[in-house]
Chains A and B, each alone.
Chain A
């Protein structure tokens, strides 16, 4: 008995020592591999996105063309819709209205199985990374990766990563009690690519002749500053400002978006005229892991949303300042 206990204890000690080492350089390397895999891996599958009472399934196909990826996403329930994302932009096909929405705005966040935003090294500054066991997800052996925030400004996140491709098989955002508040997971997965002609071409007959509506936003450089209290959004960097032109001289834009990220979560600040006042108010609302609110600031309607706890968003929005300049 004592030998068995001794061997078991030795195993635990070895595991804890190994965990400490992995929390260093190998954790950063793993984060980088996960980030790269989402951009370059070739795969197809079906994933399910769940939060609150919402459940939505989509089929996804990704191939590589040169150094860039082409991704096709099909909604498999509800209103038919197909998205084809290439280096030159994103096209969204609406077969019921036979119209295409085109967006060339630089993508800050492309969605599952991509989970990191911008430079993944930022993740190491704000989260402790640890590893768990191997479980089978969508018939794939996946390693558990835990990202525990170092403060209470952000949610904990748990990933399961395919040991072979380093693709995220499942991603969960948790609240501070460890309860899952939003998750996405592959229900089936294959590393075998689909034909390029299938992925790059819309499924719907005649789609190449449908009218195209441009929904692009222009990148604003140099990035205009946004005044707020820095410690309410500590660790989040401003990574982009985008806007749509205005039809009136009173406002230089019809919509401006400021994007902040800590490498994992993003916070957007949308500024519009007060006439654009929407259904939100100054009370924080939540949609899965995303908190949101809106308030009038001077002559603008400002909406703030992000995958952060409600109190983080509330404090940040409380100290936002805005003044429209000509």
Chain B
């Protein structure tokens, strides 16, 4: 198996994992938290791990198997985060390490799926299919229509998400 993770990236992921596992000391956890907030790559990874639940809730039970598969595949690509107390002997045996990685990834993926099922099951029992409906596709307003002062005035009056250039006075 290829081991092509850069050492710096491994260290960052291990830090994030340790932080999430609550296996850091108080001062270390404080420093790690600040470091995570200042590091966009770590923030993105943090958000992705925390958003797994949201994705499952928004996509419905039927999508949980692909989610679990994606999580397992993603975890399989992550460097092995040896649990507290594990010995260095495991890290030197590539075959055992690969099996450990697969078991660890599969267990965590299944755990995520199981917890999401328990946490969100009541909400999933009556999904509203119409919320997922595409609806008719509307034609975009053309530049010529937008340039028409009669429509521009009404758009100005209606307002918008943000104030945008207002039509000139006559």
A residues at B contact (CB < 8 Å): 1-5, 7-9, 11-13, 15-16, 47, 49, 51-52, 56, 58, 73, 75, 78-79, 81, 83, 92, 94, 97, 99, 101, 105, 108-112, 115, 130, 132-136, 141, 146, 148-149, 151-152, 171, 173, 176-178, 182-184, 213, 215, 217, 257, 266, 268, 270, 276, 278-280, 283-292, 303, 305-307, 309-311, 314
- Across chains A and B, the number of contacting residue pairs, with CB separation under 8 Å, is 192
Cβ B160 vs Cβ A83 within 8 A = no
Contact with A along B20-37 (1 / 0, CB 8 A): 111100000000000001
Cβ B141 vs Cβ A286 within 8 A = yes
Q: Tell me, in angstroms, the Cα distance from A148 to B132 when the chains sit together.
A: 12
Tell me the nearest residue of chain B to A97, going by C-beta: B168
Asked if B107 is at the interface (CB within 8 A of a chain A CB), the reply is: yes
- Interface residue ranges of B124-163 to A (CB < 8 Å): 128, 130-141, 144-146, 148, 150-151, 154-155, 157-163
Choice from A3, A13, A176, A292 contacting B115 with Cβ under 8 Å:
A13
Choice from B100, B112, B164, B166 contacting A12 with Cβ under 8 Å:
B112
**B residues in contact with A306, CB < 8 Å:** 158
Choice from A11, A149, A307 contacting B20 with Cβ under 8 Å:
A11
13 more contacts with CB within 8 A, not counting A2-B83, A15-B50, are A8-B21, A49-B162, A101-B169, A130-B54, A132-B50, A146-B54, A152-B130, A176-B132, A213-B170, A279-B151, A285-B145, A303-B151, A311-B135
For the complex of A and B, the 9 pairs showing the least CB-CB separation, nearest first, are A16-B119, A310-B138, A278-B150, A112-B162, A286-B138, A49-B162, A213-B169, A109-B159, A111-B163
**A residues in contact with B76, CB < 8 Å:** none
Cβ B158 vs Cβ A266 within 8 A = yes
**B residues in contact with A132, CB < 8 Å:** 47, 50-51, 54
